[in-house]
Chains A and B, each alone.
Chain A
Amino acid sequence: MRFRHACATVLVVTVVAACAPPQADNTGDQGGGETTGELTVWLFQEASNGPKEAVVDRAVAEFEQAHEGVTVNVEYLPVDGRAPRFNGAFNDPASAPDVAEFGNTDLAGYAASNGFADLTADLDAWDEGADLVPDVLDTATIDDKVYGVPWFTGTRALYYRTDVFTELGLEPPATLAELTETARAIRAAKPDLYGIAVGGKYLFALLPYVWAHGGDIAERDGDAWSATIDSPAARAGFARYAELITPDICPPAQCAQLTGSQSVAAFAGGKAAMTIGGDFNRAAVDEGAVKGKYGVVPLPGTTDGQIAPAFAGGNLLGVLRSSDRRQLGWEFVRLLGGKDYQRAMYDAMGTMPTFTDVQDGIAGDDEFLVPFIETVQAGTRFVPATPAWTQIDAQAVLPTALQQVATGELDVNTATSAAAAEMDAAFAG
């Protein structure tokens, strides 16, 4: 018996040592040069996808007209289930599409997996490329390599109820400190309303607070990142945001779990006097009870006249590295991501274009977009462009810290120190 055990142990050890987990091969040349056949495209499924599909169908028809022997097969993916689909595509190139839409916060992780083709040279040679907003193009860039064309961008600003503000004789807040006072005053006068609907899981509302106070969540030094959420400036912003999730503004029992879209939904449903929402939330708000009763101003900074730096969200169009039709894919990206179809997407979906001239063209016609364009022009910021961010985001490090403060479990200093330690562990790999 003992001998057999020993044998089994030896066998197990040898087998384990000899074998390694499976790895896909993504290190070869960047894509092939086939010019005919089927081009597979993954796009995200939006809440009301009809108008988007109409625009995309037009682009597909135009593309197929121009390229004989090419069919474009568009598949719409739910945003929530994207991670396994994309990771599956990187791990098994045979099941990967040729072209895909993806969120710019996911880019660092995808680039680390060698998932997308380097488009820097193609973009340089493209006449429209020079008009892309530099801050937005930065969100498509890792280590000086561009991996996608920004298809549309999204920034957030302060939505407020004009009827409530008029009734109570209030003005939209000019600083973040004033915002807290205003929100508290509204809830005191109208206990049915949240002063402002924001949530413990609403990272992109927290970030402008941190940035406006002169802090940041992490800092890059060469190739290394280190967390700075525990710096005094970042803590000041963090505390300013966390104080909104209190019983006299947005009660923790209701708000600690709110995400961005849930916060906007609460505002749209008439349950809140303010919220932080994006230009892309317009349709959702207009479908709600507050249609025609709200205004938008840029989220203020710490001093009068300042705008809090916004997070530059948005989606990119890229070509997968494993694609056999790299050139064809790039041509499709150039068409769908180009000025004409960005304008068409704005008309259909209200998404904000990424070209300066296209933005300027619509700003004159659309008053709603003015505060958002002001925000973009005041300068936007981004999350750490490192694959570790995927992990930090997935582990909900910052939302957890916020919720710990909101529930009174920890104070700001302890919670941010713990968050910084977790972030540093993720950066260290």
Chain B
Amino acid sequence: MAPPITPVAPDARTRAARQGLHRGETRSALLYLVPAGVVLVGLLAYPLYQLVVISLYDYGQPQAAGAAPLVFLGFENYVSLLGDPRFWDVLAATVLFAAVCVGGSLLVGTALAVLATRASPWARKLLFLAALGAWATPAMAGSYVWLFLFDQDFGLVNEVLSTLGLAVDGHSWTFGRFSAFGLVAGEIIWCSFPFVMVTMYAGISAIPREVVEAAALDGASATRTATSVLLPILRPLIAIATVQSTIWDFKVFTQIYVMTNGGGVAGQNLVLNVFAYQEAFAGQRYGLGAAIGVVMTVLLMLITVVYLRIRR
């Protein structure tokens, strides 16, 4: 087979023209980006740089106060972190916990979004009001409200369950590892499903009615329409909601810290963010804490890369 002939000249010309146009645009684009760039460098790049620097030193409270000399450790903080079985246990717990929270919020959010498209206007308004209420509740307040609901002595949940004849008198929901994680996951799903619901509702509403009608005319069943027509259209939205929820739930701090009293019985409910806090600020080992921060940043950046790929 002969190689395809490439029309060199016109292509080169257009490319040159495009580049000329491009260069001018690039300059003004850069100019427009300067203010944002300055803010980003000051508020993001510099702290991130300091984080990396601190993670390479033996940097505790005496060092910060200038009472002890700085010792450059290189990657020793990372070595001891990655060699600590507790870190891997916490990392695994964080990943699983985030996965459950993401899955839960997606399921609940999507189901309610579908419900909202079919409900009557007033029911839809009520649903949105309730969802936005949960969304607007500060994490701290939400965590305490859930704790009160599930309090072992005075909680509404135990009271209702015991009137139903279940032997839950004085049952502690935060004692067992899975029970405590489950309770916190419930709270997180409760306060993060509204984002998924609003996103999915917007997506479903934007699907042209003609498409669904066409599918119906072709004799597709409701299930078939959902899986072969609606789902593919919604896929980018689902992907974005998944990645955003993943980033949020991976970084969860408040709910775990408040609801399990700083990490649960014998540290069984620690997640990476709370673990970093305990090591860095409570234990005053800023160097090791910074190393955990860097590891978390890298993991989240990987997720962000996936997010950007999907958006493209």
Q: Which A residues are within 8 Å of any B CB, using their own CB? A: 15-16, 19-27, 83-84, 87, 90-91, 109, 112-115, 200, 252-254, 256-257, 387, 390-391, 394-396, 399-400, 403-404, 407, 409, 429
A–B Cβ pairs within 8 angstroms, 29 of them = A15-B49, A16-B52, A16-B56, A20-B53, A20-B70, A21-B53, A21-B64, A21-B70, A23-B66, A25-B66, A26-B65, A27-B66, A83-B282, A87-B61, A90-B64, A91-B65, A109-B61, A112-B62, A114-B62, A114-B65, A115-B67, A253-B175, A257-B265, A387-B60, A387-B62, A391-B283, A395-B282, A403-B265, A407-B265
Cβ-defined partner of B284 (8 Å) among A22, A391, A399, A400: A391
Asked if residues B284 and A24 are in contact (CB atoms below 8 Å), the reply is: no
Q: How far is the CB of B296 from chain A (nearest CB, A)?
A: 19
- Chain B residues, Cβ within 8 Å of A15: 49
A407 vs B175: C-alpha distance in the bound complex, in angstroms?
9
**Is the CB of B172 closer than 8 A to any CB of chain A?**
yes
**Is the CB of B254 closer than 8 A to any CB of chain A?**
no
Cβ-defined partner of B50 (8 Å) among A21, A200, A390: A21
Q: How far is the CB of A270 from chain B (nearest CB, A)?
A: 12
Given contacts A16-B56, A252-B175, A395-B282, is CB(A403)–CB(B266) below 8 Å? yes
Given contacts A16-B53, A21-B57, A400-B267, is CB(A114)–CB(B67) below 8 Å? yes
Asked if residues B65 and A113 are in contact (CB atoms below 8 Å), the reply is: yes
Most A CB within 10 A of own CB, among B50, B281, B283: B283
- Chain B residues, Cβ within 8 Å of A400: 266-267
Q: How far is the CB of B147 from chain A (nearest CB, A)?
A: 12
Q: How far is the CB of B19 from chain A (nearest CB, A)?
A: 19
**Is the CB of B54 closer than 8 A to any CB of chain A?**
yes
A271 vs B108: C-alpha distance in the bound complex, in angstroms?
40
Asked if residues B265 and A24 are in contact (CB atoms below 8 Å), the reply is: no
Asked if residues A24 and B283 are in contact (CB atoms below 8 Å), the reply is: no
- Chain B residues, Cβ within 8 Å of A84: 281
Given contacts A21-B53, A404-B266, is CB(A254)–CB(B63) below 8 Å? no
Asked if residues B265 and A200 are in contact (CB atoms below 8 Å), the reply is: yes
Tell me the dominant secondary structure on chain B's binding face.
Answer: mixed
A24 vs B53: C-alpha distance in the bound complex, in angstroms?
16
Asked if residues A112 and B281 are in contact (CB atoms below 8 Å), the reply is: no
Q: How far is the CB of B59 from chain A (nearest CB, A)?
A: 5
A113 vs B68: C-alpha distance in the bound complex, in angstroms?
7
Asked if residues A23 and B61 are in contact (CB atoms below 8 Å), the reply is: no
- Chain A residues, Cβ within 8 Å of B59: 21
Cβ-defined partner of A23 (8 Å) among B50, B70, B175, B266: B70
- Chain B residues, Cβ within 8 Å of A387: 60-62
A-B pairs with the 3 shortest C-beta distances? A394-B282, A114-B67, A113-B65
- Chain B residues, Cβ within 8 Å of A403: 265-266
Given contacts A90-B61, A253-B175, is CB(A394)–CB(B283) below 8 Å? yes
**Is the CB of B235 closer than 8 A to any CB of chain A?**
no
- Chain B residues, Cβ within 8 Å of A256: 175, 265-266
Per-residue A-contact encoding for B59-89, CB less than 8 Å = 1, 0 else: 1111111111010100000000000000000
Most A CB within 10 A of own CB, among B60, B65, B72: B65
Per-residue A-contact encoding for B249-278, CB less than 8 Å = 1, 0 else: 000000000000100011100000000001
B50: nearest residue on chain A (CB-CB)?
A21
Q: How far is the CB of A401 from chain B (nearest CB, A)?
A: 8
Interface residues of B in 257-312 (CB under 8 A from A): 261, 265-267, 278-279, 281-286
A387 vs B65: C-alpha distance in the bound complex, in angstroms?
13
**Is the CB of B152 closer than 8 A to any CB of chain A?**
yes
Most B CB within 10 A of own CB, among A25, A26, A113, A429: A113
Q: How far is the CB of A91 from chain B (nearest CB, A)?
A: 5
**Is the CB of B37 closer than 8 A to any CB of chain A?**
no
Asked if residues A253 and B266 are in contact (CB atoms below 8 Å), the reply is: no
A25 vs B267: C-alpha distance in the bound complex, in angstroms?
36
A26 vs B67: C-alpha distance in the bound complex, in angstroms?
6
A90 vs B286: C-alpha distance in the bound complex, in angstroms?
15
Q: How far is the CB of A23 from chain B (nearest CB, A)?
A: 4
Q: How far is the CB of A63 from chain B (nearest CB, A)?
A: 28
Q: How far is the CB of A78 from chain B (nearest CB, A)?
A: 16
Per-residue A-contact encoding for B38-55, CB less than 8 Å = 1, 0 else: 000000000001101110
- Chain B residues, Cβ within 8 Å of A252: 175
- Chain A residues, Cβ within 8 Å of B68: 112
A83 vs B278: C-alpha distance in the bound complex, in angstroms?
12
Given contacts A90-B65, A109-B61, is CB(A394)–CB(B265) below 8 Å? no
Asked if residues A257 and B67 are in contact (CB atoms below 8 Å), the reply is: no
A245 vs B35: C-alpha distance in the bound complex, in angstroms?
60
Asked if residues B265 and A395 are in contact (CB atoms below 8 Å), the reply is: no
- Chain A residues, Cβ within 8 Å of B281: 83-84
A315 vs B174: C-alpha distance in the bound complex, in angstroms?
33
A115: nearest residue on chain B (CB-CB)?
B65
- Chain A residues, Cβ within 8 Å of B61: 87, 90, 109, 112-113, 387, 390
- Chain A residues, Cβ within 8 Å of B72: 20
- Chain B residues, Cβ within 8 Å of A399: 266
Q: How far is the CB of A206 from chain B (nearest CB, A)?
A: 14
- Chain A residues, Cβ within 8 Å of B70: 20-21, 23
**Is the CB of B170 closer than 8 A to any CB of chain A?**
yes
- Chain B residues, Cβ within 8 Å of A407: 175, 265-266
A410: nearest residue on chain B (CB-CB)?
B266
A116 vs B41: C-alpha distance in the bound complex, in angstroms?
37
Cβ-defined partner of B152 (8 Å) among A83, A87, A254: A254
Given contacts A394-B284, A396-B267, A400-B267, is CB(A26)–CB(B66) below 8 Å? yes
Given contacts A87-B284, A391-B284, A409-B266, is CB(A253)–CB(B171) below 8 Å? yes
A16 vs B57: C-alpha distance in the bound complex, in angstroms?
11
- Chain B residues, Cβ within 8 Å of A113: 61-62, 64-65, 67
Q: How far is the CB of A16 from chain B (nearest CB, A)?
A: 6
Q: How far is the CB of A116 from chain B (nearest CB, A)?
A: 11
- Chain A residues, Cβ within 8 Å of B64: 21-24, 87, 90-91, 113
Q: How far is the CB of A238 from chain B (nearest CB, A)?
A: 15
- Chain B residues, Cβ within 8 Å of A16: 52-53, 56
Q: How far is the CB of B175 from chain A (nearest CB, A)?
A: 4
Asked if residues B285 and A391 are in contact (CB atoms below 8 Å), the reply is: yes
A241 vs B119: C-alpha distance in the bound complex, in angstroms?
59
A84 vs B72: C-alpha distance in the bound complex, in angstroms?
24
Per-residue A-contact encoding for B168-192, CB less than 8 Å = 1, 0 else: 0011101100000000000000000
Given contacts A24-B66, A395-B278, A395-B283, is CB(A19)–CB(B152) below 8 Å? no
